[in-house]
Every structure is written in structure tokens, then in C-alpha cells.
């Protein structure tokens, strides 16, 4: 069996491979079922980091039984979704409903285009693809201590209260940030696992009685029923991270 406890790992610890014609791929978190600690996911399907060099494109493909979204970490490019082109840049989220064909295009740039790819197997199909950038979303405060939250994608079952209710198998993705000296609240989920991915800065993650030092590029896997809290004690900028569930 794979790891079923808290796991902290950085994408640079994995050996890369090349896939989808010209993407460099680093596995960060994978489904449970084997011996590696990063094989821990029970509900979410997988988390990978991709990098596409300039002058290259990926293949045009679809996933019939999975939903997937890209979070752009750096660079500028284009995503083709069912023959419609969308400009993307740092902070963009591109969601692909099951069966939607998509392609990452970086042929007009000299720079790398870097992104996270989150996938989840699903049995439902009643969603639609979309592209949104966190800068287009109004932030909220006070939900998780001092953390500022930008809700990006939500479950289709939360349609009444959500701006982008798209997710079929997952619950949400949000961007959060903490200024120096501030902390999110300590809380626990009894119905879902979570992944925190640090996009900027460094800080501390407390899980039950364990203390983890975390920094940009780290992914923190938190199983359900584990109390957790993230803190920015010393970083002068915004400690910024994604919360994936």
C-alpha cells in the first residue's frame, strides 16, 4: 500500500519524463497503491508539474473519464479547448470537462510555459470547460483566519453560491495568501483530503502534532481527519499557495 499519512515533497525531487509530444513532466502526487510516499492520493487523481519549452506545442487530446485542469505557474501561451483558443498566463486556470479536447500551445514564444496539472477520474459528465485567472476573481477574507482567499473552481453541486461551478469529482481549488506574521486557522476536514501547493515564499505547516517547514515548489498532502494550519512567520512577501480538494 502507498502512503496514507501526511506527505511533504518538492517537484524537483522527482525524475522527469517527456510526454504529450514535447512536455517535460514531473510527478508530484500519485494515486495510492504502491510503495513511494508520493503515491498517497485517495480521491484526487494526480498532481504533476509540466514545462513546455518555447516554439513547441503539446498534442491535441481528451480524457473521456477524467476531469482535469491546468494552473499556469509562469510564462504566456495559448490553450485550445474544443477548437476555441484562450490566452493564458501566470495565475490562469484552464478546466477541461470530460471529453473536451485540449492542447497547450507555446509555439510563438521563446520562453518556457510552466503549469500544474491536476486530474481526477469521474463518472459524471455534466460540466463545461472554462478559463479564469485569479486576478479576475474577487478575494474573500475571514474564512480561514488571516488568509486571503481567491476561489477559482468549485463543485457543480455548489452552483448556487459559486462563480465557477465546474468540478465533478473534486471539491474546489482556491488561491490563498498570508502576509508576514499571520496564519490561517487550524481546521480539519472529515470528508475530503487536501493538497497545498506553495507558489511563492516559505512558511510553516502544522499537521496534528507535526511541524513542517515548507517553501515554493512544495506540495503538502493532508488526509481527511488531520488538523492542519499554515503560517507565515518570517517571509516578507505574500506566502502564496493553492488549496486543492
Rounded to whole angstroms, the Cα distance separating 45 from 27 reads 12
Residue 79 has pLDDT above 90, yes or no: yes
Give me the pLDDT at residue 33, please: 79
Q: Determine what percent of the chain is predicted with pLDDT higher than 70.
A: 98
Q: Name the nearest CA neighbour of 40 among 240, 224, 212.
A: 224
| Grid cell listed for 93 | 486556470
- Give the pLDDT confidence of 210-244 residue by residue, as tens digits: 999 999 999 999 999 999 999 999 999 999 999 99
As a whole number, mean pLDDT of residues 28-55 equals: 94
- Report the pLDDT value the prediction gives residue 1, as an integer from 0 to 100: 42
| Domain assignments of the chain as residue spans, ordered by start | 7-244
Q: Over 70: is that where the pLDDT of 53 sits? A: yes
pLDDT at residue 161 in the model: 80
182-202 pLDDT per residue, tens: 999 999 999 999 999 999 999
7-244 is classed CATH 2.60.120.10? yes
pTM higher than the cut 0.85:
yes
- Predicted pLDDT at 27: 98
Tell me if residue 134 falls in helix, strand or coil: helix
Tell me: the pLDDT tens digits for 128-169?
A: 999 999 999 999 999 999 999 999 999 999 877 899 999 999
Is beta strand 202-207 parallel, antiparallel or unpaired with respect to 210-215?
antiparallel
Output the pLDDT for position 4.
64
Exposure string over 130-149, b if 16+ CB within 10 A, otherwise e: bbbbbeebeeeeeebbbbbb
Sheet architecture: strand order including 228-232: 182-183, 228-232, 202-207, 210-215
C-alpha atoms less than 13 angstroms from C-alpha of 148 in its C-beta half-sphere: 12
Strands 39-41 and 23-31: parallel
113-137: pLDDT as tens digits: 999 999 999 999 999 999 999 999 9
Sequence-ordered strand ranges (E) for 82-209: 84-89, 92-96, 102-106, 113-121, 130-133, 140-141, 148-155, 165-167, 172-178, 182-183, 194-200, 202-207
Amino acid at each position: 500500500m502507498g502512503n496514507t499519512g501526511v506527505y511533504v515533497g518538492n517537484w524537483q525531487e522527482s525524475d522527469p519524463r517527456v510526454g504529450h509530444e514535447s512536455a517535460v513532466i514531473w510527478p508530484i502526487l500519485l494515486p495510492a497503491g504502491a510503495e513511494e510516499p508520493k503515491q498517497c492520493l485517495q480521491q484526487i487523481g494526480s498532481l504533476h508539474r509540466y514545462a513546455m519549452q518555447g516554439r513547441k506545442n503539446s498534442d491535441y487530446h481528451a480524457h473521456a473519464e477524467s476531469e482535469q485542469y491546468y494552473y499556469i505557474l509562469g510564462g504566456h501561451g495559448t490553450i485550445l479547448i474544443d477548437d476555441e483558443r484562450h490566452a493564458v498566463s501566470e495565475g490562469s486556470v484552464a478546466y477541461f470537462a470530460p471529453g473536451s479536447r485540449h492542447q497547450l500551445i507555446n509555439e510563438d514564444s521563446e520562453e518556457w510555459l510552466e503549469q500544474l496539472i491536476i486530474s481526477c477520474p469521474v463518472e459524471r459528465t455534466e460540466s463545461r470547460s472554462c478559463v479564469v485567472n485569479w486576478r479576475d476573481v474577487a478575494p474573500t477574507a475571514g474564512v480561514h483566519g488571516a488568509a486571503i482567499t481567491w476561489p477559482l473552481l468549485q463543485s457543480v453541486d455548489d452552483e448556487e453560491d459559486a462563480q465557477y461551478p465546474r468540478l465533478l469529482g473534486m471539491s474546489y481549488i482556491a488561491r490563498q495568501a498570508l502576509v508576514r506574521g499571520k496564519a490561517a486557522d487550524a481546521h480539519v476536514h472529515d470528508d475530503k483530503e487536501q493538497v497545498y501547493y506553495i507558489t511563492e515564499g516559505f512558511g510553516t505547516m502544522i499537521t496534528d502534532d507535526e511541524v513542517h517547514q515548507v517553501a515554493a515548489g512544495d506540495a503538502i498532502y493532508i488526509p481527511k481527519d488531520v488538523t492542519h494550519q499554515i503560517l507565515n512567520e518570517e517571509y516578507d512577501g505574500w506566502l502564496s499557495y493553492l488549496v486543492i480538494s
